[in-house]
Structure 1
Amino acid sequence: MRKSSLPLAASFYIDYHNFFEEILGEILTDILIIGGGIIGLSLAIELKLRGAQVTILSSESHQAAATAAAGMLAPQAENIPPSPMLDLCLQSRALYPEWIGKLETITGLTTGYWPCGILSPVYEQPEVTYNKQLTLNSQWLDKDAIHQHQPGLSNEIIGGWWYPNDAQVDNRALFQTLQIAAKKLKIDISQERVEEIIRSGTKVLGVKTSSGELQANHYILATGAWSNQLLPVPVYPKKGQMLSVCPPPETPPIIQQLQMVLFGDESYIVPRKDGQIIIGATSENVNFTPGNTPWGIQALLSRAIRLYPELQHYLIQEFWWGFRPATPDELPILGYSAWDNLTLATGHYRNGILLAPVTAIMIADWIEQHKSDPLLSHFHYSRFADSGAPHH
C-alpha cells in the first residue's frame, strides 16, 4: 500500500515514528542480553544506567557459576602471574567498593562485601620467600608470625602469604542484589530459554526462544558454561562442588575465630560475617553431570580440616554444585565477535564475580561508544584459531 493512500493521521504517525527512530536510535539502544547470571545482570545494569533499553533473557539455571563460588576477590591469592589477566583482575578489584556502594544504594540491600584480606598458608617452605608480584601489597609470614596472625591453623603450616587487599563478597547476596537492582531499574527480565541465535553472514538477525523470536539492535552473549550450545565458542563447563559449615550451638558467642579467607593449595575456607563458613571447591571435567559426590565432599572436608583442624567439630549446613565457564587458556572471552551486532562476555572461569564490574564497564564502553580498552584485545575470541565463526 502506498503511503499516500493511508489516512492522514496514520501517515503522520509513520513519519513521526520513523523520524524519532532515526534521531533517538543511537541514544536509546535496544540491547538484548542472553544470560541472566552475574555477568549478564552487571552488564544490564551498567547499560541501563547509561540510558540504554535492555532486555535480559534468562533460563534461570540454578547450576550457574554464581552458585559454584565463594565470592573471593583474590587476584593475588590466586597467584595470577604478571599479565593482562592480572591487570584486568586488579582493576576490577579496585572498582569493587564503589560498584557495591552503587548497587546497595539502588536496592537498600547488603552484599556481604568484606575487605578482610586473604591468607595463603603453605605446608612446605617455598624455594624463595618473596612476592613474585613485587609491586603489590603483600607480606610473607614465617611460622610464628602466621600462627599469631591467624590462630587455629594446622601445626603443619610453616608460613604463608598475607594479601591485605584481597577481599570477598557474599556471592548469593550479590546475585540477589543484582536481580533486585535490575527490577528497580525496570530492566525487562524474561525467563525464556534461548534455543538458537539466528545468524546470516556477519549479522545476528534475532534469537529463537521457547516462546517465539525476538530481535534487537545489539546482542550480548553472557551464558557462561552454556555459551557453546548457542555459538561455536570454546567454552565448556567445569563442575565445582562446595559445602558450608557453622560452629556448633554450644560454641560461646565470641567473635568469629576465623577473620580472613584461607586460600590453600587445593582448597579455600571463606568465613562470612554471620558465622557461616564456605568450603570449596572441586574442579571437575564431567560436562554437565549434576549433583554432589562422596568423593567431592570427602576431598573438600579432608583438605579443609587439614588446613584448619577446628572445622572437624563444626556442623555441616549445605552441599551444592555449579558449573564454571572454562576456556582452553582459562581466560575470559570479551569484546566484539565475528558478528557485527553481537558482543561476547563469557568464559570467566573462576573469576566471574571478581571481574563483573570491569566486564560491565568495558563492554558498555564498547557497545555505547565503540571505545575499546587496550586490555580487551588480550581476551578476544580470535586467539582461538578454530572459533568456527565467519570471518570479515
Structure 2
Amino acid sequence: MSSGSEIIVIGGGVIGLATAIELRLLGAQVTILSKDFKAAAGHAAAGMLAPQAEQIAPGTMHDLCLDSRELYPEWVRKIEAISGVDVGYWQCGILAPRYLSASGQDWLDTDSIHQQQSGLSESVVGGYWYPADGQVDNRALIRSLSSASQALGINLRDSVEVTAIHRNQGRVTHLETSQGDLTAQHYILATGAWSQQLLPIPLIPRKGQMLSVLVPNEQRDNLPLQQVLFGEEIYIVPRRDGKIIIGATSEDVGFAPSNTLKGVKQLMTNAMRLFPTLQQYPLLETWWGFRPATPDELPILGTSTEANLTLATGHYRNGILLAPITAKLIADLVWHQQADNLLAAFSWQRFDPG
C-alpha cells in the first residue's frame, strides 16, 4: 500500500488505538472513529498480563499471548515516549492461590505460598507462581494511547457512531455514520463487544462487574500486596498508588448496564474469602464493562469477506494483553500485505459452516 493511503479504524478502544498507532508509524494516514471513548472495554479491565495465570491451553492462542507479553516492555516504552504518559507497566508476577491441593510446574505448597504472600486465607493450601506475568494500569494505558495518537497526527473522532458498513462486489464502499457517510481506502473493524451490530459475526457481550478499594495511608509505604492474586473465583490486582482492583463477574446479559447488588456481593465475598484483610479497606469505586466473546473465546483477526476490510475484534478477556501483537499483526497485514502464520487460527472462517 502506498504512503498517504487513508485508513479508517472503527473503534477507539485499546485495540483500535494500538493498531492505528502502529499503522501511523508505518506512514499511513489514519482516522479513528469512536462511538463513545469512555465505553471502551479497556476502561473496565484490570490490566492483567496473565497468559500463564489464565492457564491458556498450549496452542496458537497460548503462543499469541506469550508473544504479546514479550513485546510489552518495548511497546510500552515506545508509547510512553510518544505520549509522555506513564502506563503503569509492572512485571509484579501473578500468584494463583488454590483451595484444593495440586502439583506440577510452578506449584507452591502451603508453607511456600503463605511465605510468598502473607495475609492469604487459611483455606489456601497452595498455588501457582508466575513471575513473568504482570499488569498495566488499563486506564493509564488508554490515556497514553490516546495522547500518542494525537501526538502522531491521527484523526481521533469521538462521538461518531458507525451505523452501517455498506458493501458491494467484495469491497466496502462507505460507512454510514451519525455524522454522514465516510469513505477510505481501507477499513479496520475494532469495535469489540459491539462488532455484531455491524457485521454478522458470532460475537456477544459478556458483562463484567468490578470494584476497587483503597489501602489506608498508613500502609502505603509497605503495601499489603506486591503481586496480583489470581484466585479460582476472583482476581485482586494491586496498584502502586494503593488502589486494589477486584474483579470480575462474567454475565451473559447482553448490554444490560449498571452494577447489581448480586454482582458486587459476589465480588466482595470471594475477595474477602481469599484475602481477608480487604474487608477493612474503604470501597473506592464500582463499575462494569462488556467483553467481546466469540464461541471459542478466541479473537477474530485478519481478512474478511471484503478485500478492504480487516477484522481485529473478539479479544474477550485478553484485549489489554494482546494489544501489542494485534497491532503488529494487523498493521503488517494491512500495510505490507504480510500475513503472519499466527493469523490463520483466528480467521472468521473458522465459524463458517461452508
Q: What corresponds to 1:130 in structure 2?
A: 104
The Cα of 1:289 is off from its aligned counterpart by: 0.3
Amino acid of the residue matched to residue 203 of structure 2?
Answer: V
Any residues of structure 2 matched to 1:72-221 within 5 Å, and which?
A: 72-126=48-102, 129-131=103-105, 139-191=106-158, 192-221=160-189
Could you say what the CA RMSD is over the residues aligned between the two structures, in angstroms?
A: 1.1
Kept in 1, the 8 Å contact 2:87–2:140? The answer is: yes
Amino acid of the residue matched to residue 227 of structure 1?
Answer: S
Q: What corresponds to 1:245 in structure 2?
A: 213
Q: Which runs of 4+ in 1 moved over 3 A?
A: 251-254
Amino acid of the residue matched to residue 199 of structure 2?
Answer: L
Distance between the aligned counterparts of 2:39 and 2:236, measured in 1?
Answer: 21
Report the secondary structure of 1:173's partner residue: helix
Amino acid of the residue matched to residue 161 of structure 1?
Answer: Y
> Is 1:41 aligned to residue 14 of structure 2?
no
Distance between the aligned counterparts of 2:245 and 2:10, measured in 1?
Answer: 30
Any residues of structure 2 matched to 1:53-68 within 5 Å, and which?
A: 53-68=29-44
The Cα of 1:111 is off from its aligned counterpart by: 0.3
Distance between the aligned counterparts of 2:296 and 2:351, measured in 1?
Answer: 9
Change (3 A) 1:226 1:30: same
Distance between the aligned counterparts of 1:48 and 1:75, measured in 2?
Answer: 28
The Cα of 1:140 is off from its aligned counterpart by: 1.4
Q: What corresponds to 1:21 in structure 2?
A: none
Amino acid of the residue matched to residue 104 of structure 2?
Answer: Y
Distance between the aligned counterparts of 1:245 and 1:253, measured in 2?
Answer: 13
Identity %: 58
Gaps of 5+ in 2: none
Kept in 2, the 8 Å contact 1:63–1:321? The answer is: no
The Cα of 1:304 is off from its aligned counterpart by: 0.5
Gaps of 5+ in 1: 1-24, 132-138
Distance between the aligned counterparts of 1:70 and 1:253, measured in 2?
Answer: 20
Kept in 2, the 8 Å contact 1:32–1:220? The answer is: yes
The Cα of 1:248 is off from its aligned counterpart by: 3.3
Amino acid of the residue matched to residue 280 of structure 1?
Answer: G
Q: What corresponds to 1:22 in structure 2?
A: none
TM-score normalised according to structure 1 size: 0.88
Any residues of structure 2 matched to 1:207-356 within 5 Å, and which?
A: 207-249=175-217, 251-356=218-323
Distance between the aligned counterparts of 1:298 and 1:211, measured in 2?
Answer: 42
Report the secondary structure of 2:144's partner residue: helix
